[in-house]
Amino acid sequence: MDFPLPELGVGIVYVPGLEPILEPTSTCIDFLEIEPQTLWQFHSGRKTSHFLPDYTLRHLRALPQRKLIHSVGNGLGGTYQPDTTFISALIDTIQALDAPWASEHLSVTQFKDRQKVYHTGFMLPPLQTYAGVKVAAETIRNFSRQLPVPLAIETGVNYLQPRSGELSDGEFVAATVEAADCGILLDLHNIWTNQQNGRQPVKEFLACLPLDRVWEVHLGGGFEHEGYWLDAHSGAVPEAVLSLTEQILPLLPNIKAITYEIFSSYIPLFGLDAIHSQLQEIQSLWQKRHSDRQKYHFKQTLHQSEMTPRQDIDNSLEPDEWETTLGELVTNGNISGRLADKLSEDPGIKLMQKLIWKFRAGAIVKNIGTLTRLIMIHSNSTTLEQFLDEYIKKTKPQTYASDECNGFLTFLVKKAPAIPYLQDILRYEQATIEAQLSQEPQLIQFSYDPRTLLEGILNGSLPDNIEQGSYELEIPPVSMAMDGPSQVGMS
Amino acid sequence: MERPQNKTVAIDTVPLPERTIRVRLPTSVAYNLKSFQKVQATILDRLGCTACCSGWDIRYDVIRSFAFDEKLNLK
């Protein structure tokens, strides 16, 4: 199979903060992979509810590297069909950045319960049966035919233990991509993570795949937590994964790109110099991709289309029941039944509950930091954790951080804990979010000089004296801060 | 008192007293862009989609240590 796609080389998933190593003179980064939804905003009142702000688009276009699009948050592994507003926004982003291909995840990120669709807050594994293959392939085809560029789907992480009556990880991916006729984004750290956590060994997984469909590889780092290896995008790519990469690259006839992934919050810990070194190491692997494939012992099994369907696969379970049950369990929902009882025994469920908690809490503390800091200054971090815990257990995850933050703000308005200045800071945070989403300055009233309070909170203490009076605070839209690429980052 | 450059939206509807002082908040404060605990403070990925992976988000862990380090150094 041949895909007429450009050969891009080695790149990195773009996160703000990488700018110092994205200069035109950089020799270790050939392209940037953009995860558009992390940079989109969602405002239901706008004509285009999902949108990439103009200042963000200008910033991305000014970066010298070629761009790829890696969609997140609308997994194609299940029954959920992304809506038209989402797809329109994705097409706009693909075209605006002239991406030669796009990718999404072979995961489940939405589930339905009583006609309402919920976001899972995490990349969940799809149902690995023939029924699951059929549903996933149809979802991928429906999505792919609407895009102006070819689509690859990413091989995901699965923190659950293997279940009887399901296809192996490799069999499921192979059957799905053949039925969907799409490309593969082979995340080697993901499948290595699965092996570390008791799922199919990497070499058996790779032996199932139609390797001519792989046109991109992802590499990332992780760490161990309570007996699990986590796909944390935390820094160094494990040596074992780099070794696998060296072995597998010569066997991928259509490989066009290798992408390194690290989360922005790990950048200060890992360091830009270390990222640069990691990319140089990956570049040297890329240069060896045409090495003699006979050097490596790698036996591929029959092509999926030549395989007889397995009779031991349990096709009685419907994909939507799998998605609803798994989705409710990991989001602390109330669900019972044979599947729920069985899955509840898997320690991976508790792990995913914890990881989802972390993501939701992280979105809140990052985006309404003045409020969370006020709570910690007055009370302590335990109180903040209790508030977050109560909120997270009572609600479902939101797709966008703006909705997650507004949900937490509403929760605290109703709870009304006795914290000084709390009601004012709640209004302040609501106004800040609205200023960013609407791109219009917001005005709110205070009975004292708010600048004294806000500077105090930012510096870690509540002021003893604040000048009283009638004040109106103007909160600027964030576009005023975006004077150019040099303005992005810490002030 | 500064005049706003763009259309402004008033959150509160109670009429303002006569001697109200309009103050403008620097964007560095409004969007927490001051250096804080060495966590990269940026604007571009605020309020975006949260479910981007399958790993461990440390943002809450980092912020939580704020309460215990008066010098705002990352532990």
**Any A CB within 8 A of B24 CB:** yes
Mean pLDDT of the B18-38 span = 70
Residue contact A123–B27, C-beta within 8 A: no
CATH topology of domain A9-306: TIM Barrel (3.20.20)
Residue contact A358–B60, C-beta within 8 A: yes
What is the pLDDT at residue B42? 66
Structure ipTM? 0.84
Closest Cβ–Cβ partner in B7, B9, B49 for A73: B49
Do A74 and A110 meet the contact criterion of CB atoms below 8 Å apart?
yes
Residue contact A123–B38, C-beta within 8 A: no
What is the pLDDT at residue B11? 63
Q: Is the pLDDT of residue B50 over 70?
A: no
What is the pLDDT at residue A294? 56
- The chain A residue lying nearest B23, using CA atoms, is A473
Do A228 and A159 meet the contact criterion of CB atoms below 8 Å apart?
yes
Residue contact B40–A267, C-beta within 8 A: yes
Which position has the higher pLDDT, A249 or B36? A249
Domain with CATH 3.20.20.150 in chain A: 9-306
Between residues 427 and 456 of chain A, which touch chain B (CB distance below 8 Å)?
Answer: 427, 430-438, 440-445, 449-451, 454-455
What is the pLDDT at residue A290? 84
Radius of gyration over alpha carbons of chain B, in Å? 18
pTM, two decimals, is 0.90
Q: Give the minimum alpha-carbon distance from B32 to chain A in angstroms, rounded to a whole number.
A: 7
Do A102 and A71 meet the contact criterion of CB atoms below 8 Å apart?
yes
Q: What are the backbone angles phi and psi of residue A225, rounded to the nearest 5°?
A: -145, 115
Q: Is the pLDDT of residue B35 over 80?
A: no
Q: Which residues of B touch A370 (CB under 8 A)?
A: 32
What is the pLDDT at residue A307? 59
Rounded distance between C-alpha atoms, residue A143 and residue A87, angstroms: 8
- Going by the DSSP 8-state scheme, the letter that residue B47 receives in this structure is T
Best of B53, B70, B72 to disrupt the A interface by mutation (most A CBs within 10 Å)? B53
Residue contact A433–B47, C-beta within 8 A: yes
What is the pLDDT at residue B65? 65
Closest Cβ–Cβ partner in B21, B36, B44 for A56: B44
What is the pLDDT at residue B41? 56
pLDDT averaged over consecutive 10-residue blocks of chain A (491 residues)?
Answer: 82 92 89 92 74 88 95 93 91 96 96 90 95 97 97 97 96 97 97 98 96 96 95 95 96 96 89 95 94 57 60 89 97 94 97 95 92 90 94 94 95 96 96 89 93 89 88 84 39 27
Q: Which residues of B touch A366 (CB under 8 A)?
A: 46, 59, 63
What is the pLDDT at residue A55? 86
Residue spans of the domains in chain B: they are: 1-75
What is the pLDDT at residue A148? 96
**Any B CB within 8 A of A222 CB:** yes
